[in-house]
Amino acid sequence: MRMLNNSNPLRVPGLLGKLGVMTSIRDTELLEQSLLRTLGPLLGVLDTSLYRLDEAQLLVRVIHYHRSKVVDGDGVARMLERIEEIVQLSDVAPEVLALTDNVRLLGKPCTRVLEGGMLIAYPLLGAGEVCGYFVFRRDHEVSANEDATIRGVLEVFSNYYALLDVSQRDRLTGLFNRQALENNFERIWSAMAQPETFLERQDGRRHQGQGKYWLAVIDIDHFKRINDSFGHMVGDEILLLVSRLMQNTFRSSDLLYRYGGEEFVAIVAAENEAIARNVFERVRLAIEAHSFPRIDRLSVSIGYAEVDPEILPVEVLSRADRSLYQAKQDGRNRVYDFQELVASGIFPSPSYGDAELF
């Protein structure tokens, strides 16, 4: 019988239990957090991080997991944990960027010796491509057993992540689907309540006092006519093109969902209402200016409302939707802000009686 290496702190039953927890999760964000919760204690490190890349292999999100030991008044020690989600490229340490760059180029784990320890990064693979990194610091190298465990856990994670991701994506456009939006509402809303840890500009600059978010419902005008005149295949192609045009117009940190047939939901960060309007106007203009196959011209109508973390997502969604409906009624191909419709007396002022509060 082969003896287990004493220097190896990994326990298989504990690991299996944690993998069981990981694969019972139905949300990609929670799964990412669970990965860090699994590997941090297994490797005996207090800090672990996950870096996510987009399709163009640009860094879009960082999740830090931190554990610390606290002793309460009765002398009982407890482990506290904190998860921080940020996308602030300017804050990513240069040594991490240098290390992960090598991991990306080589497609394998790399270590960098630093003063007082080492920085270790493993690639996360999705469809054969590097789509992120698992990073931690430690005062000693990874043993062969630990290496096998990390690779195994990351493989389970990546496969399961891909499955979950598929179930949260719309098949035609590849955008997140309505289910994903509904699953993510709670997380998005609580993150919005602490804006410094949420949506960030792609250039990595944090804007003091920004912290405002806007939810828009975007609907293609007279889409039924396209289907009726040219058939569903052409309709599908138009839907795909509209999605791509919108993706190109929004920032990669904005959230875009295909909510229904020809209806999309976007959640974007903007300092104020004027900037939000500008973002949505840009989307409207991009669609209006595009020459589509067969139909040539097309337009979208957009209704939006400010996200208030105090107000239930369903109410914010309803405000944006009512504004969209008004835009359709007033002739389509326009962008309407809920607050402006209230200010101009078209909509009654929302009272706390109407709004569903947490």
Ligand X SMILES: Nc1nc2c(ncn2[C@@H]2O[C@H](COP(=O)(O)OP(=O)(O)OP(=O)(O)O)[C@@H](O)[C@H]2O)c(=O)[nH]1
**Nearest one of 216, 186, 198, 357 to 276, comparing CA atoms:** 216
- According to the binding rule CB under 6 A, does residue 261 interact with ligand X? yes
String of contacts with ligand X for each residue 125-164, x by CB under 6 A: ----------------------------------------
Does residue 122 touch ligand X according to CB under 6 A?
A: no
Closest among 209, 296, 189, 288 to 246, alpha carbons compared: 288
Member of 11, 108, 205, 222 binding ligand X (CB under 6 A): 222
Q: How far is CA 264 from CA 169, 212, 279, 300, 301, in A?
A: 13, 20, 15, 10, 11
Q: How many CB atoms lie within 10 A of CB 289?
A: 9
Residue 201: CB minimum distance to ligand X, A = 32
* Closest distance to ligand X from the beta carbon of 317 (Å): 17
Q: In which residue are the tokens 């093109």 written?
A: 241
CA-to-CA distance for 123 and 137, rounded, in angstroms? 15
Of residues 11, 108, 232, 294, which one binds ligand X by CB under 6 A? 232
Q: Which residues within the stretch 271-310 sit at the binding site for ligand X (CB under 6 A)?
A: none
Query: Which CB atom, from 306 or from 321, has the smaller least distance to ligand X?
Result: 321
Our finding on whether 321 is near ligand X (CB under 6 A) is: no
Q: How many helices (H) and strands (E) does the chain have?
A: 10, 12
Q: For the CB of residue 219, give the shortest distance to ligand X in the complex, in Å.
A: 5
What is the token pair recorded at 56?
């163009």
Q: Answer yes or no whether residue 224 interacts with ligand X by CB under 6 A.
A: yes
Contact 68, 92 (CB under 8 A): no
| Among 197, 227, 252, 326, interactor with ligand X by CB under 6 A | 227
Residue 321 CB, shortest distance to ligand X, in Å, is 12
Cβ distance 217 to 317 under 8 Å?
A: yes
Return the residues of window 86-115 that contact ligand X according to CB under 6 A. Answer: none
Using CB under 6 A as the binding rule, whether residue 221 contacts ligand X is answered as: yes
Assess contact for 235 and 321: CB atoms under 8 A.
Answer: no
Q: Find where tokens 């809920």 sit.
A: 338
| Least distance in angstroms from the C-beta of 77 to ligand X | 56
- 205: phi then psi, degrees, rounded to nearest 5: -80, 135
Shortest Cβ 232–ligand X spacing (Å): 4
| Least distance CB 195 / ligand X (angstroms) | 33
Residue written as token pair 């039953």: 13
Distance of alpha carbon 88 from alpha carbon 220, whole angstroms = 34
For ligand X, the closer CB: 223 or 257? 223
Question: Whose CB is nearest to ligand X?
Answer: 261
From the CB of 328, what's the least distance to ligand X, in Å?
5
Q: What are phi and psi of 118, to 5 degrees?
A: -135, 155
For ligand X, the binding residues in 324-343 under the rule CB under 6 A are 328, 332
User: 67 or 332, CB closer to ligand X?
Assistant: 332
**CA-to-CA dists, residue 136 to 48, 102, 139, 151, 195, angstroms:** 5, 15, 10, 14, 26
Q: Which span sits near ligand X by CB under 6 A: 90-98, 190-198, 228-236, 302-310?
A: 228-236
User: What is the closest distance, in whole angstroms, from the C-beta atom of residue 312 to ligand X in the complex?
Assistant: 25
Paired tokens of 207: 């804007």
Other CB atoms closer than 10 Å to residue 13's CB: what's the count?
A: 7
Q: How far apart are CA 131 and CA 59, in angstroms?
A: 9
165-184 footprint of ligand X as x/- string (CB under 6 A):
-------x------------
Question: How many binding residues for ligand X (CB under 6 A)?
Answer: 16
Among 41, 195, 235, 309, binds ligand X (CB under 6 A): 235
Footprint on this chain of ligand X (rule: CB under 6 A): 172, 219-224, 227, 232, 235-236, 239, 261-262, 328, 332
